[in-house]
Amino acid sequence: MSEQSQSVISCFDQPGQFSVQQGREKVEALVNPLSDSEYCAIAQLTGRVLAEDLVSPVNVPAQTNSAMDGFALCLPEENTGHTHWPDEYLLVGEAFAGHGYDGALETGQAVLITTGAPVPKGTSTVVMKEVARVDNGRVLLDRADAVRPGENIRQAGEDLKKGCIALQAGTRLKAQHQGLIASLGYTEVKVIRRPRVAVFSTGDEVVAQGQPLPEFSIYDTNRFSIQGMLAALGCEVIDLGILPDQKDVLTNTLRQAAEQTDVVISSGGVSVGDADYIKSALNETGRTGFWRLNMRPGRPFACGVLGCSDDSTSVCPDKQALFYGLPGNPVAVMVTFLQLVQPALRKLSGEKNWEPCRLPALAAEKMRSRAGRTDFHRGIFSINHQGQLEVHTTGSQGSGILRSMTEANCLIEIPDDMPGVQPGERVMIQPFADLL
C-alpha cells in the first residue's frame, strides 16, 4: 500500500484514553489516500470513487428543446407593447424529438412540438397541448393572457455547459452520478482502485457456520457484519477466517496480510484481559496502539500500521497495511467500525468531503449515559403527531445484543457532556440509510 504518514507513528500512546473525536482524528491521521486508478464502465461505477475531475465534453442539453408536448409559437416582438398575446396562430409544421423543423417561425406562426424536440428558430414560447386546440390549420389558445414568453423551453447547456467540471475528483459515485456521466457520452471513467481489506475473527469460543456448536461457543458473527460494511464501502474483501489462539499463526497471517492488502481488521481480543496475546503478535509485525475510547459500546480499540518496525526509518512502504482491532462484542464491532473505521476507509478510498448524516431529534424516553463518555444507543426515529423528528431506543442496549442493530434505523448519539437524557430533550441521531 502507499506510504503511511511517518509523523503520526510517534502518537501511539500506550494505552491511550481518548474521546470519540480524538480517536477519529488519530485513526484518520494514519491514512494516506490511495492514488492508483483504473478505468471502470458506467454500469459498474456504483460505490466507486472518481479519480479525477470529470469535464463535460458537451452542452447538456445539447440543443434548446421543448419541455412539453404542445406548440412552439412566434409571438409579436415584446417591445411592441403587447399585454395580451394573439389567441390564434397559423400551424406551419411539426418538430418531433430526434427531428427538427427546418424553417424559422415568423410572427403569428406555430409548430406542433413534442417533449425533447429542438425548438425551431424564431420560437418565443411553447404552450402545452392541453391549453390549445387545432382548428382548420390554426392553433387556437384558450387563454392567450396566460401565455408567457420563454416558457417550457430548456436552454442548451442549462444543465451543464461544455468544458465545465461536471463531477469533482473524490466523489463517491451513486446512481445519479452514473446517469450524469452517461448523459455526457462517456463509456467509462477513471476511478481509484478499491481498497483491499483482510478480515479475521479471533477467540477460542468462535465457531464457523456449518460446524456443530459446542458448549460455551458462539457462531462467528463479526466477520460477516464487517464484510457487509466493507462491501457497502466498495472494498475488496479478503476473508482470513477464524484465527486460532496461536501466536505464530497470528504473526505470520498479519505479516502476509500486510504485504497483500491495504487494511487488516480483526475482532476480539483487545480488552485488558485478552489483549496480551494479539498485542505481542502485533508488536512483531508493526506498530499498534491500544486505546480506551470514552464511548459505549466500543471502549477497547486497537489501531496502527503493520509492516513497519519500531525503527520507523526502515519502513517498507509497499508492504504496509493499516490495522484496526475491533472489540469482540458484536454491537461494539459495528459501532466502532461505523464511527472510526468507516471515515478512515473513505479517506483511504480517495473520497472527499464526506460527513456522516446527523439530525436533531427529540428523545421519546429516558436514556442512560454517563458524563465523560459518548453513548451510542440503537434507536428508531419517526415523525410524531406534532410533525417533529423523535427517537426511542430499541430496548436493552447490551453490546452483545445484535438484534438491537437489526431493529434500529439509527444510532442515537449521547455526547460526553450529557450524563443522561430526559424525555423531550434533544439528541443527535445518525440515520442508517441515506436515501441515495
Ligand X SMILES: Nc1nc2c(c(=O)[nH]1)N[C@H]1C(S)=C(S)[C@@H](COP(=O)(O)OP(=O)(O)OC[C@H]3O[C@@H](n4cnc5c(N)ncnc54)[C@H](O)[C@@H]3O)O[C@H]1N2
Minimum Å gap between C-beta 401 and ligand X is 11
Asked if 302 contacts 290 with a C-beta cutoff of 8 angstroms, the reply is yes
Minimum Å gap between C-beta 296 and ligand MOO is 5
345 is a site residue for ligand MOO (CB under 6 A): no
Count CA atoms closer than 13 A to 143's CA, side-chain side: 7
298 is a site residue for ligand MOO (CB under 6 A): yes
* Residue 220 partner contact from ligand X, ligand MOO, none using kind-dependent CB cut-offs of 5 to 8 Å: ligand X
Nearer to ligand MOO, 220 or 390 (CB): 220
Instruction: Find the part of the chain contacting ligand MOO (CB under 6 A) among 45-53, 190-198, 304-312, 327-335.
Output: 327-335
Asked if 95 contacts 101 with a C-beta cutoff of 8 angstroms, the reply is yes
- Which among 344, 44, 45, 34 is positioned nearest to 173, based on CA atoms? 45
267 is a site residue for ligand MOO (CB under 6 A): no
* Residue 330 partner contact from ligand MOO, ligand X, none using kind-dependent CB cut-offs of 5 to 8 Å: ligand X
Nearer to ligand MOO, 26 or 373 (CB): 373
Report the alpha-carbon distance of residue 328 to residue 349 in Å, rounded.
26
Minimum Å gap between C-beta 24 and ligand MOO is 16
* Residue 269 partner contact from ligand X, ligand MOO, none using kind-dependent CB cut-offs of 5 to 8 Å: ligand X
235 is a site residue for ligand MOO (CB under 6 A): no
Minimum Å gap between C-beta 303 and ligand MOO is 15
374 is a site residue for ligand MOO (CB under 6 A): no
Instruction: Find the part of the chain contacting ligand MOO (CB under 6 A) among 153-161, 295-303, 315-323, 362-370.
Output: 295-303
What distance separates the 2 farthest-apart alpha carbons in the chain? 93
268 is a site residue for ligand MOO (CB under 6 A): no
234 is a site residue for ligand MOO (CB under 6 A): no
* Residue 413 partner contact from ligand MOO, ligand X, none using kind-dependent CB cut-offs of 5 to 8 Å: none
What value does the CA radius of gyration of the chain take, rounded to a whole number of Å? 30
Minimum Å gap between C-beta 293 and ligand MOO is 8
Asked if 56 contacts 184 with a C-beta cutoff of 8 angstroms, the reply is yes
Report the alpha-carbon distance of residue 232 to residue 433 in Å, rounded.
12
Minimum Å gap between C-beta 354 and ligand MOO is 25
Nearest residue to ligand MOO, by Cβ distance, number only: 399
Minimum Å gap between C-beta 31 and ligand X is 23
Nearer to ligand X, 25 or 274 (CB): 274
- Which among 262, 348, 317, 353 is positioned nearest to 33, based on CA atoms? 348
Task: Name the packing angle between helices 247-260 and 275-285 (round to 10°).
Answer: 50
23 is a site residue for ligand MOO (CB under 6 A): no
399 is a site residue for ligand MOO (CB under 6 A): yes
* Residue 369 partner contact from ligand X, ligand MOO, none using kind-dependent CB cut-offs of 5 to 8 Å: none
Nearer to ligand MOO, 299 or 346 (CB): 299
Could you list the residues that contact ligand X (CB under 6 A)?
Answer: 201, 203, 205-206, 218, 220-223, 267-274, 297, 299-300, 327-330, 332, 399-400
Return the residue matching grid coordinates 409548430.
Answer: 111
Contact set with ligand MOO (CB under 6 A)? 296-299, 327, 329, 332, 399
